[in-house]
Structure 1
Amino acid sequence: MGEATYTDKMGVKHVLVILTGIMITLGCSALVFSTWSAFQAVVPEVLGVETATWAFYVTVLYFVEALSAPFIGRLFAKYDIRVVLSASAILVGGGFLLISVFKSMWVFYIAGAMMGLAEVGLLWLAVPALCNSWFNQKAGTIQGLCMAFTGIGGALWLQVFNALYASGNGMDVWSIYMVWGLIALVTSLPFTIFCIRKTPQEAGVLPYGRPSVATGGKAVGISASKAMKSPVFYAVFLFAGIINLLTIVAQQFPSYTKSLTDVTFDALAVGVMMSTVMMVAQAVCKLALGVSADKSPKISFFAAFATGVIGVLLVWFGTGSEIMLYAGSAVYGFFFASCVVLVPIVVRQIFGTREYTDIYSRISLFVNLLGGLGSTIWAFIGGSFGYPAVFTVALVLLVVVLLLGMYSFANAKSVQKEWTE
């Protein structure tokens, strides 16, 4: 009998890793990405600035994410993951606290840069990296579960915001930012410091589940330098970024419904509800997509493409019925989930785990770059050419994603042949 390289039991330390993934997405990531729209309705007026001027800090956040992704990926590979994630959590909490203290426009840009630097690790790298190290099986399911809490957290914190701001207890937005900073720290640091290690071996346990290939328990895959010489890398690079660009179409739903004429419902209220429905749906769909991707990433990819197309068509042509619009938003939630759940699973399947964080961090550079440009791109198309143009471009880009994905899966074996320990 050779040395055991896996365990079929889910131990306490495995559960703590899952709990850490849940808490950093529920706290730091959801607070940053899922609540800024609520502040947008209040803060620009308080500061006396244009909404676009204030919202530019979100663009700064995305651009810093994009530019720092390869650097943070190398930190993940080289240093203790507890240090990297704890420092990231402090940057998020500190950014919110700085805003609460200085109450000026310039500090939003500094805080946006801090949060962008932090979220590379907290949202894009931590959960996939930990799942790849700790779980030989059910990694996609666990990843989907953890990522679902960005949506769950968004729904939760938006309700907290409404309760604090509208409760009549005198809490202003600056006090809420302070609360946000404290929540970010409390929901993350106890877990990033005490509950995880980079690998199960460091914690004195074994990965959960039998390896899918005979690896001897070691990480196998292609090096980042070799991956970047492969056309498959650039196909994945492109379709991952385009998927993130397409998810931002959902942010246009309220503006889209507001532009509708001759409808029998409150157009703006329906648009806001569509965004809410999509947020809840994508939380559920992240778990469902993780489960399905564990069985077949390829089938899950085609399913995500189909739901993207169906969702766009329902929203575009379903204006005669509120139910059709809500259904379109919910269906689009499955495609929305593919950005943070399916893409990292596809990267792992094609390129392996040997230098996964380095490879995936380079891909996330383009993902975040298009994320930073997305709102501006779609708003420009909608404002200049109308929303039929938005949906037409979205459908064309979905086809591009399909073709790039089909090419990547068809040529995956040529990359896998070069895997080494």
Structure 2
Amino acid sequence: MGETTYTDKMSVRHILIAITGIMITFGCSALVFSTWSAFQAVVPDMLGVEKSVWAFYITVLYLAEAFSAPFIGRLIAKYDIRIVLSVSALLVGVGFLLIGFVKQLWVFYLAGLMMGLGEVGILWLAVPTLANNWFNQKAGTVIGTCMAFTGIGGAIWLQVFNALYAGGNGMDIWTIYIIWGVAALVTSLPFTLFCIRKTPQEAGALPYGKPQTASGKPAGIDASKALKSPVFYTVFLFAGIINLLTIVAQQFPSYTKSLTDVTFDALAVGVMMATVMMVAQAICKLALGVAADKNAKLSFIAAFVTGVAGVLLVWFGTGSEIMLYAGAAIYGFFFAACVVLVPVIVRQIFGNREYPDIYSRISMFVNIMGAVGPVFWAFLGGFGYPILFAVAIVLLVVVLLLGLYSFSKAKTVQDQWTE
């Protein structure tokens, strides 16, 4: 009998890995990415600056993520993941605390830099790396479940913000930033410090589910070889374009506000569309993770179809609020592809051997697209929303073609896998 290299039973250790992923996305990631728009309605006026000047800290955040991703990926691959993720959580939490105590414009840019460095590990690398190491099977389901809590967390934290701020009659906005900082630390550090190990072997455990190789050792292609493969660059491109396309959803409120001859409150409907999509993408992340475990290629095609359908419904469904809400909800499925489907595809094509290094390089371009996306879509919107939506459809087709090419050439990469 050969040595057992996996378990078919879910242990407490496996559950703690999933819970840690849920908590860091619910806390640190949702607080950073899903609530800044609420502060945007208040803080720039308090500081006496234009909204675009204040919001530039989000661009700083995305650029910090982009250019530090390969470096953070190597740290996770080489060092104790508990230390890397705990420092990452500290950067996020302390960033919020600095804003709350200093109350100056420049500190937002500093905090954006800190949060960007922290979120690379927390949002982009931690969940896929831990899920792939601990789960030979159901990794996509775990990733989807964890990533769903960026949306669930966003919906909850926005309600907390509304309750605390109470239309300006409640808590001071700087105190809320301090609460955000404490919340980021409380929802992350106990889990990153005490609940995880990078691999099951470090915890005296076994991965869940049958492994990809007979020996049970991680198999995959070297990062140096992956970078020489055309498939890497097609995945690199479509992953970034997917993130660019998710930012189209930020234009929904502005789009509906521009509508004339409608019987509903256009701006209120636009805001509700954004809320509907946030809830929908949380549900869709879980669904997409489960689907990707069964068939990544079919899930990819389904994401493309829902992306196109969502854009078309929003574009041509202006005669009905229900059509607009349906379009936003359907687009949520495509929205989920960026943080759920892409890491699953990367693992299936390139393997798990040097996954953090390979995926971190792809996430670099993903975050660059996140940085330029708001400006890109706002610029196109200035020429008219038909142009914006037409460009979105074209880019969706480009994503489909790049993805299908990647799947068709996956075997050539997999033939180079080693343990």
- Range into which the TM-score falls when normalised by the shorter chain: over 0.9
Compute the displacement of 1:171 (Å): 1.1
Alignment of 1:184-203 (within 5 A): 184-203=184-203
Aligned to 1:403: 401
Compute the displacement of 1:350 (Å): 0.2
Cα distance in 2, alignment partners of residues 63 and 363 from structure 1: 14
Contact in 1 for aligned 2:314/2:327 (Cα 8 Å): yes
Aligned to 1:140: 140
| Aligned-partner residue type, residue 182 of structure 1 | V
Alignment of 1:29-48 (within 5 A): 29-48=29-48
Once the two structures are superposed, residues 17-36 of structure 1 have per-residue CA deviations (whole angstroms, 9 ceiling, x without a partner) of 10000000000000000000
Cα distance in 2, alignment partners of residues 160 and 200 from structure 1: 37
Aligned to 2:88: 88
Contact in 1 for aligned 2:144/2:286 (Cα 8 Å): yes
Aligned to 1:356: 355
Aligned to 2:63: 63
Once the two structures are superposed, residues 84-104 of structure 1 have per-residue CA deviations (whole angstroms, 9 ceiling, x without a partner) of 000000000000000001000
| Aligned-partner residue type, residue 313 of structure 2 | L
Aligned to 1:294: 293
| Pairing 1:233–2:232 present | yes
Compute the displacement of 1:215 (Å): 3.9
Cα distance in 2, alignment partners of residues 267 and 245 from structure 1: 25
Compute the displacement of 1:210 (Å): 1.0
Aligned to 2:284: 285
| Pairing 1:322–2:328 present | no
| Pairing 1:221–2:229 present | no
Cα distance in 2, alignment partners of residues 170 and 258 from structure 1: 29
Cα distance in 2, alignment partners of residues 175 and 109 from structure 1: 19
Aligned counterpart for 2:385 among listed residues 361, 384, 387: 387
| Aligned-partner residue type, residue 30 of structure 1 | A
Once the two structures are superposed, residues 145-168 of structure 1 have per-residue CA deviations (whole angstroms, 9 ceiling, x without a partner) of 000000000000000000000077
Compute the displacement of 1:172 (Å): 1.1
Aligned to 1:100: 100
Deviates more, 1:242-251 or 1:168-177: 168-177
Once the two structures are superposed, residues 238-261 of structure 1 have per-residue CA deviations (whole angstroms, 9 ceiling, x without a partner) of 000000000000000000000000
Cα distance in 2, alignment partners of residues 333 and 84 from structure 1: 31
Cα distance in 2, alignment partners of residues 347 and 405 from structure 1: 11
| Aligned-partner residue type, residue 395 of structure 1 | I
TM superposition outliers: structure 1 runs of 4+ over 3 Å: 167-170
| Aligned-partner residue type, residue 393 of structure 1 | V
Identical aligned residues as a percent: 78
| Aligned-partner residue type, residue 127 of structure 1 | V
Cα distance in 2, alignment partners of residues 8 and 169 from structure 1: 54
Once the two structures are superposed, residues 62-82 of structure 1 have per-residue CA deviations (whole angstroms, 9 ceiling, x without a partner) of 000000000000000000000
Q: What is the alpha-carbon root mean square deviation over aligned residues? A: 0.8
Compute the displacement of 1:170 (Å): 4.0
Cα distance in 2, alignment partners of residues 65 and 222 from structure 1: 25
Cα distance in 2, alignment partners of residues 18 and 151 from structure 1: 16
Once the two structures are superposed, residues 152-193 of structure 1 have per-residue CA deviations (whole angstroms, 9 ceiling, x without a partner) of 000000000000000777411100000000000000000000
Once the two structures are superposed, residues 235-284 of structure 1 have per-residue CA deviations (whole angstroms, 9 ceiling, x without a partner) of 00000000000000000000000000000000000000000000000000
Alignment of 1:264-275 (within 5 A): 264-275=263-274
Compute the displacement of 1:44 (Å): 0.2
Cα distance in 2, alignment partners of residues 167 and 45 from structure 1: 14
Aligned to 1:162: 162
TM-score, normalised relative to structure 1: 0.99
Compute the displacement of 1:214 (Å): 2.5
| Aligned-partner residue type, residue 46 of structure 2 | V
TM-score, normalised relative to structure 2: 0.99
| Pairing 1:117–2:117 present | yes
Cα distance in 1, alignment partners of residues 302 and 172 from structure 2: 44
Cα distance in 2, alignment partners of residues 188 and 196 from structure 1: 12
Contact in 1 for aligned 2:155/2:278 (Cα 8 Å): yes
Cα distance in 1, alignment partners of residues 336 and 199 from structure 2: 26
Query: Where in structure 1 are there 5+ consecutive unaligned residues?
Result: none
SS of equivalent residue, structure 2 residue 381: helix
| Aligned-partner residue type, residue 390 of structure 1 | L
SS of equivalent residue, structure 2 residue 328: helix
Once the two structures are superposed, residues 278-303 of structure 1 have per-residue CA deviations (whole angstroms, 9 ceiling, x without a partner) of 00000000000000000000000000
Cα distance in 2, alignment partners of residues 352 and 210 from structure 1: 15
Cα distance in 2, alignment partners of residues 234 and 241 from structure 1: 11
| Pairing 1:346–2:382 present | no
SS of equivalent residue, structure 2 residue 374: helix
Cα distance in 2, alignment partners of residues 52 and 66 from structure 1: 21
Contact in 1 for aligned 2:213/2:219 (Cα 8 Å): no
SS of equivalent residue, structure 2 residue 70: helix
Aligned to 1:337: 336
SS of equivalent residue, structure 2 residue 8: coil
